[in-house]
Amino acid sequence: MEGFVYPNEVVVQWSLLIALYPYLTGLVAGAFIVSSLYHLFGVTSLRPIAPLSLITALAFVLVAPLPLLVHLGRPERGLEIFWTPHLSSAMAGFGYIWLFYTVLLVFETWLVFRKDIVRHQAASRGLKKVLYSALALGVYDVPERSLKTDGKIVKILSAIGIPGAAFLHGYVGFIFGSVKANPWWSTPLMPAIFLLSAIVSGIALLIVLYVIVSQVRRQPLDHNCLGSLASWLFGFLLIDVALEGMEVVSMMYELEESWEIVSQLITQKIALSYLGIQMALGAVVPLILLGAMGLVQWSRGIRSALAFSSSVLLLVGVFAMRWNVVIGGQLFSKTLRGFVAYSPPLGGKEGALSALAIMVLSLLLLGAIAYFLPPWREHEEEKPTLGSR
């Protein structure tokens, strides 16, 4: 501690897991937006990545509540949100939004992959056949008319899911933005910043997954798809960086009494994670790299490397943003004249290993879903046609 700190502020209550939680929900929202760009808005260039984006959103939404449940220490009590509804609680609101969004994602994924499920059921044996039979819900005939109906329902679900994605992650920014006693959190731009950075991180994750999976499977990249993803990423990133800059500039211009402590926070206490990682490495550098992709006629290999490198940096930068908001907002005292320090422990239920385990679990669940519902089938069917042109 340094300066004047209230006794109840000595321990940082919202730890690393609380910073991880909005990061996971952000990946869900961003991945679903990419899926909706294809299924709802007909951006055909994203067709190769659309199934992968859908199952990515599903895998991460299933794991998203884990950081909160582990932080509570009594995970089974999380069900109390549903048994005893508290509609005026912003925190409890996550339970309702998460449940709605999870059901929507499960239903949409089932519709998109229904034809694949029936095909795998007919070609499988043993336990896999039983699994696919259960997923097929006893319907093993999928006529063309039924598929068209499925497509219409998927469009409706995508239209509902877009505002759902905004609620799922925008409400996290609302929770922080509504804390009037904390000047680092209390800003009307917070929900928009959280939502834009969520979309950026989701698109970045899909680029990283698409490039890595293609290399592992030894399949050529669809550079039209990758270029389209990079273009959308650049656009959303540009808006996100502008909003984050406006937030700090407005605080600087207003010069309220809290600006002195906030300026010390971002220039001294979290200077490395905020100015170095979040803004420079996680925003400015990716903007330059993605901008160079559009301005210079690079070879396909260089363009892929630029998109991949930018996406990795953005994933790190967005996590740094979550850290700076959640942890940074707890480092200065409400006296506005003191600071505390925080570094996550390596072990323990809220340590770095616990957070890493949750991230790995998300990827393992994604791998399991992709094993039973391969998301690259449509792309493989297109290759003979593309090759003949």
- Residue 65: phi and psi, rounded to 5, are -75, -15
Residue 389 burial (C-beta neighbours within 10 Å; 0-12, 13-18, 19+): exposed
Does any domain span residue 303?
Answer: yes
Instruction: Output the pLDDT for position 379.
Output: 43
Cα dist from 106 to 102, 141, 246, 290, whole Å: 6, 21, 38, 33
Are 30 and 205 in contact, with CB atoms under 8 Å apart? Answer: yes
Instruction: Output the pLDDT for position 387.
Output: 36
Domain limits at 180? 2-377
Secondary structure of residue 95 in the 3-state scheme = helix
Residue 265's Cα: distance from chain center in Å? Answer: 26
Does any domain span residue 388?
Answer: no
Instruction: Output the pLDDT for position 125.
Output: 87
Does any domain span residue 259?
Answer: yes
Render each residue's pLDDT in the chain as its tens digit; 389 residues. 777 888 888 888 888 999 999 999 999 999 999 999 999 998 999 999 999 999 999 999 999 989 988 888 787 877 787 788 777 777 777 788 888 899 999 999 999 999 899 888 888 888 888 999 998 888 887 788 888 888 899 999 999 988 888 877 777 788 887 777 888 988 888 888 999 999 999 999 999 999 999 999 888 989 999 999 999 999 999 999 999 999 999 989 988 888 999 999 999 999 999 999 999 999 999 999 999 988 888 888 899 999 999 999 999 999 999 999 999 999 998 888 889 988 888 988 889 999 999 999 999 999 999 999 998 854 444 443 333 33
Phi-psi group of 170: left, alpha or beta (phi > 0 → left; psi -120 to 50 → alpha; rest → beta): alpha
Q: How many distinct structural domains can be found in the chain?
A: 1
Does any domain span residue 195?
Answer: yes
Instruction: Output the pLDDT for position 50.
Output: 92
> Which CATH number belongs to the domain containing residue 197 in this structure?
1.20.1630.10
Does any domain span residue 125?
Answer: yes
Does any domain span residue 84?
Answer: yes
Question: Locate tokens 């399949």: which residue?
Answer: 219
Does any domain span residue 276?
Answer: yes
Instruction: Output the pLDDT for position 377.
Output: 56
Does any domain span residue 355?
Answer: yes
Residues 254-265 as b or e (16 or more Cβ within 10 Å = b): eeeebbebbebb
Q: Which of 344, 337, 340, 342 is nearest to 1 (CA)?
A: 340
Are 91 and 248 in contact, with CB atoms under 8 Å apart? Answer: no
Contacts 24+ apart (CB under 8 A), 160-164: 160/104, 161/32, 161/36, 161/101, 161/104, 161/105, 161/108, 162/32, 162/33, 162/36, 162/40, 164/97, 164/100, 164/101, 164/104
Q: Which of 377, 211, 183 is nearest to 308 (CA)?
A: 211
Instruction: Output the pLDDT for position 241.
Output: 95
Q: Which of 181, 336, 190, 326 is nearest to 263 (CA)?
A: 336
